Amino acid sequence: MGGPREDEPFITVARVVKTQGRHGEVAVEPHSDAPDRFHEGARLFALARDETRRELRIEGLWPHKGHVVLKFADVDSISDALELVGCELQIPRNERGQLEPGWSYISDLTGCLVFDRGREIGKVVDVRFGAGEAPLLIVRAGMKEYELPYAAAYLQNVDCERKAIRMLLPDGMLELNAPLTAEEKQQQKRK
């Protein structure tokens, strides 16, 4: 099958959180709802902080305390596993599965403009996981940054081709979520 081309875009499907066990196992935080994304023999690429990428094959896997534990071929010790902590686990973009109509890949949301009842809020600069049931869209508007739950209850329409997410946010959510003004920061310091 061969490796991916150097210029081929990748998407992140999980992040290595910690070592798990004494034989090279790692606990990962999945960023994919695809039930067959992780299986024995699957090929993933670990992207390190220094932007180097390493090909890995899944030898075994099991769920554990909200994570998925993966055992990779040729990663056989705690020190081998430590090298993977913090890495993003990726696949070439062209290997991702087809989604049901109405579903989106989280990686496609970055760069989308977010609208609330037709009013532009800002652009998605990141997506964060682990704060609750729904991932958080990190939306930047000039100097302001908002954390908006990417939850079905608030979504009106997602059009990744046109880079637009239309939401119906509860009244007051943007004000609650807004960064503190200079005056509010001063008031907090005095307390």
CATH code for the domain of 25:
2.40.30.60
Contact 114, 174 (CB under 8 A): no
Model confidence, pTM: 0.58
Rounded to 5°, angle at Cα 12 from 9 and 13: 130
pLDDT reported for residue 4: 47
Position 180 pLDDT exceeds 80: no
Average pLDDT, the chain: 83
Position 126 pLDDT exceeds 70: yes
Of 107, 123, 105, 128, give the one whose Cα is nearest residue 165.
123
Both 87 and 118 in a single domain? no
Residue 86 within a domain: yes
Both 22 and 82 in a single domain? yes
Q: Which domain holds residue 128?
A: 106-178
d(CA 19, CA 27): 6
Arithmetic mean of pLDDT, 60-87 = 93
Residue 190 within a domain: no
Arithmetic mean of pLDDT, 132-154 = 87
Amino acid at 95: E
Which pair of tokens denotes residue 80? 């081998």
Amino acid at 104: S
Both 29 and 80 in a single domain? yes
Residue 66 within a domain: yes
d(CA 142, CA 149): 20
Q: Which residue has the higher pLDDT, 186 or 156?
A: 156
Contact 70, 28 (CB under 8 A): yes
Arithmetic mean of pLDDT, 5-31 = 84
pLDDT reported for residue 179: 55
Both 134 and 159 in a single domain? yes
